[in-house]
């Protein structure tokens, strides 16, 4: 098709699509609001926890900023060096941990020092932060004392439960140790005092339990952990509540704060909650487009995009692919069409409960399905490492309709550790999306080649 008539056709198509999307936007299936995006951060974090069974590798150096720059930098290569109580070491080994993770190497000696040190630590999810602070809590707790001594704040009930599970596993050789969940809906009788040694909960309920209801005596807390600080501050009110709780704790209480990211707002918050901190940072591995072959295909309609996709599948062997769509509606349509063609398709959709989403990703990861169709919001922050083919059925744009370069990079980029070659195919169906594609090319200064999916020889070539 000549470019002009293509452009004309897609303009008409786009105008029609826009009127449809206006209807979609006002319906319950509308694109996400900022508020929902914030909730998503908690969901994302939970998803990562649910599907992760191993540590995430990272070859970046750990950056350590010690409160006392004169004290020697101490790092451990084994858990024995930490002189943990025997039942704790037993717990660590029972979890299958042989040696400390990269962040644990530096964080554990600081956290277990005498006197215990305050710490702010940032590293991407899956690098062993939870295990590290659970170890710090368990090494200080006195199971014989029947009152709360360690307090851990989590942004949501579900995240609190996940941390609780780690405490239970790691602490299983402490028979007298008990754990309480300070979460909404967990009602205690007035006047009661908690006997559990570790309390984990969400800021609102913990604050009530420490102040109004007095179930916990904050003055007896020895270790205070604030987990997922970046998710925490995204939730209305959590920041203030956390600060109010922190103010009730004794001066010598150890304060620990963990976050996967470290934007300015998190850093400011961290400094308010953790006095005299040591700071540990582990940079996320940089993703690059260097090992990726990038193409675009010109289409004039959604059906043509689908046809192009079928042609790709007909010509090359694709072990596993991830396909990104802009809306849930397109994603469900595409998944249904691909199933009709006989593909084993998994659909990741925003309506699903977080556990259902985790199950879908898990199955895909295990190779039970070969194609994963998803919207961007659903898959943000989730690494499915083995995927070598990524299709942008719709290009990633932000809410103002500008190219979302960061998402583009995250969808198709590879880090050093998965430096395998990959293939990315972008479907372009309007002047507008061509413009987005051009801006993405400019941003990364990387050429995206045109691919004619009607030409089988050409497709075969790209696979080699």
Of 304-343, binders to ligand ATP (CB under 6 A) are none
Q: Does 154 bind ligand ATP (CB under 6 A)?
A: no
Of the candidate spans 49-57, 289-297, 347-355, 366-374, the one that interacts with ligand ATP by CB under 6 A turns out to be 49-57
Judged by CB, which is closer to ligand ATP: 127, or 453? 127
Q: Which bin fits 305, alpha (ψ -120 to 50), beta or left (φ > 0)?
A: alpha
Q: Does 48 bind ligand ATP (CB under 6 A)?
A: yes
Judged by CB, which is closer to ligand ATP: 45, or 388? 45
Alpha carbon distances (Å) from 14 to 1, 18, 392 = 17, 6, 17
Q: Does 172 bind ligand ATP (CB under 6 A)?
A: no
CA distance 43 to 114: 37
Q: Does 374 bind ligand ATP (CB under 6 A)?
A: no
Q: Does 164 bind ligand ATP (CB under 6 A)?
A: no
To which H or E segment does residue 90 belong?
helix 86-94
Judged by CB, which is closer to ligand ATP: 13, or 162? 162
Judged by CB, which is closer to ligand ATP: 86, or 96? 96
Phi/psi for 220 (5° steps) reads -100, 5
Q: Does 127 bind ligand ATP (CB under 6 A)?
A: yes
Residues whose CB is less than 8 angstroms from the CB of residue 296 and which lie 6 or more positions away in sequence, other chains included: 425, 426, 427, 428, 437, 448, 449, 450, 451
Q: How far apart are the first and last CA of the chain?
A: 28
Judged by CB, which is closer to ligand ATP: 128, or 148? 128
Q: Are 153 and 204 in contact (CB under 8 A)?
A: no
Q: Does 52 bind ligand ATP (CB under 6 A)?
A: yes
CA-wise closest residue to 280 among 103, 74, 152? 103
Buried b / exposed e along 367-404 (16+ C-beta atoms within 10 A): eebbbbbbbbbbbbebbeeebbbbbbbbbbbeeeeebb
Q: Does 41 bind ligand ATP (CB under 6 A)?
A: no
Chosen residue from 128, 218, 350, 396 binding ligand ATP by CB under 6 A: 128
What is the SS3 assignment for 91?
A: helix
CA distance 311 to 373: 17
Chosen residue from 9, 24, 55, 359 binding ligand ATP by CB under 6 A: 55
Of 250-309, binders to ligand ATP (CB under 6 A) are 260
Judged by CB, which is closer to ligand ATP: 258, or 306? 258
Bridge pairing between strands 62-65 and 278-282: antiparallel
Residue nearest to ligand ATP (CB): 125
Alpha helical stretches, state H, 141-287: 157-170, 203-210, 229-234, 238-248, 264-273
Q: Does 173 bind ligand ATP (CB under 6 A)?
A: no
Judged by CB, which is closer to ligand ATP: 127, or 205? 127
Of 64-123, binders to ligand ATP (CB under 6 A) are 97, 100-101, 104
Q: Does 239 bind ligand ATP (CB under 6 A)?
A: no
Chosen residue from 106, 118, 125, 375 binding ligand ATP by CB under 6 A: 125
Q: Does 146 bind ligand ATP (CB under 6 A)?
A: no
The number of residues that bind ligand ATP (CB under 6 A) is 19
Which two tokens mark 171? Answer: 């602490």
Alpha carbon distances (Å) from 205 to 159, 231, 366, 401, 435 = 15, 17, 39, 40, 49
Judged by CB, which is closer to ligand ATP: 54, or 445? 54
CA-wise closest residue to 391 among 334, 328, 430? 334
Count the Cβ atoms, other than its own, within 10 Å of residue 121: 29
Judged by CB, which is closer to ligand ATP: 95, or 456? 95
Beta carbon of residue 87, minimum distance to ligand ATP (angstroms, whole number): 18
Chosen residue from 26, 27, 53, 464 binding ligand ATP by CB under 6 A: 53
Beta carbon of residue 235, minimum distance to ligand ATP (angstroms, whole number): 16
Q: Are 156 and 354 in contact (CB under 8 A)?
A: no
Q: Does 129 bind ligand ATP (CB under 6 A)?
A: yes
Chosen residue from 82, 131, 231, 434 binding ligand ATP by CB under 6 A: 131
Q: Does 148 bind ligand ATP (CB under 6 A)?
A: no
Judged by CB, which is closer to ligand ATP: 49, or 380? 49
Beta carbon of residue 52, minimum distance to ligand ATP (angstroms, whole number): 5
Q: Does 126 bind ligand ATP (CB under 6 A)?
A: yes
Which two tokens mark 136? Answer: 């710090």
CA-wise closest residue to 225 among 199, 244, 205? 199
Which residues contact ligand ATP (rule: CB under 6 A)? 45, 48-49, 52-55, 97, 100-101, 104, 125-131, 260
């Amino acid at each position: 098709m000549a470019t002009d008539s293509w452009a004309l056709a897609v303009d008409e198509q786009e105008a029609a699509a826009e009127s449809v999307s206006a209807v979609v936007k006002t319906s319950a299936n509308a694109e996400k609001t900022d508020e929902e995006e914030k909730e998503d951060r908690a969901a994302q974090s939970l998803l990562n926890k649910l599907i992760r069974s191993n540590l995430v590798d990272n070859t970046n150096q750990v950056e350590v900023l010690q409160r006392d720059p004169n004290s020697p930098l101490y790092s451990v290569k084994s858990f024995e060096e930490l002189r943990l109580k025997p039942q704790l070491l037993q717990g660590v080994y029972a979890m299958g941990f042989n040696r400390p993770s990269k962040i644990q190497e530096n964080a554990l000696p600081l956290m277990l020092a005498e006197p215990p040190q305050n710490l702010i630590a940032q590293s991407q999810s899956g690098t062993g932060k939870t295990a590290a602070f659970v170890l710090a809590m368990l090494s200080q707790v006195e199971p014989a004392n029947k009152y709360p001594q360690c307090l851990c704040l989590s942004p949501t009930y579900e995240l609190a439960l996940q941390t609780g599970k780690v405490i239970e596993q790691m602490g299983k050789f402490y028979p007298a140790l008990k754990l309480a969940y300070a979460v909404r809906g967990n009602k205690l009788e007035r006047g009661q005092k908690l006997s559990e040694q570790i309390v984990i909960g969400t800021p609102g309920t913990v604050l009530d339990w420490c102040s109004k209801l007095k179930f916990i005596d904050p003055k007896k807390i020895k270790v205070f952990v604030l987990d997922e600080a970046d998710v925490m501050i995204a939730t209305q009110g959590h920041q203030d509540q956390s600060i109010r709780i922190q103010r009730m704790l004794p001066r010598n209480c150890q304060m620990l704060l963990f976050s996967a990211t470290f934007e300015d707002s998190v850093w400011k918050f961290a400094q308010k909650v953790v006095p005299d901190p040591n700071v540990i940072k582990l940079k996320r591995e940089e993703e690059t487009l260097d090992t990726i072959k990038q193409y675009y295909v010109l289409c004039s309609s959604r059906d043509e995009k689908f046809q192009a996709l079928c042609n790709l599948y007909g010509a090359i062997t694709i072990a596993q692919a991830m396909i990104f769509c802009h809306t849930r509606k397109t994603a469900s349509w595409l998944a249904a069409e691909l199933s009709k063609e006989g593909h084993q398709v998994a659909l990741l959709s925003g309506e699903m409960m977080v556990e259902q989403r985790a199950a879908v990703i898990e199955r895909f990861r295990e190779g039970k399905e070969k194609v994963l169709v998803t919207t961007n919001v659903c898959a943000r922050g989730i690494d499915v490492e083995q995927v070598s083919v990524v299709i942008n059925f719709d290009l990633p744009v932000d809410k103002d309709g500008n190219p979302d370069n960061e998402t583009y990079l995250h969808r198709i980029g590879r880090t050093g550790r998965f430096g395998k070659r990959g293939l990315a195919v972008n479907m372009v169906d309007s002047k507008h999306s061509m413009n987005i594609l051009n801006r993405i090319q400019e941003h990364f200064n990387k050429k995206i080649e045109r691919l004619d999916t009607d030409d089988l020889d050409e497709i075969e070539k790209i696979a080699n």
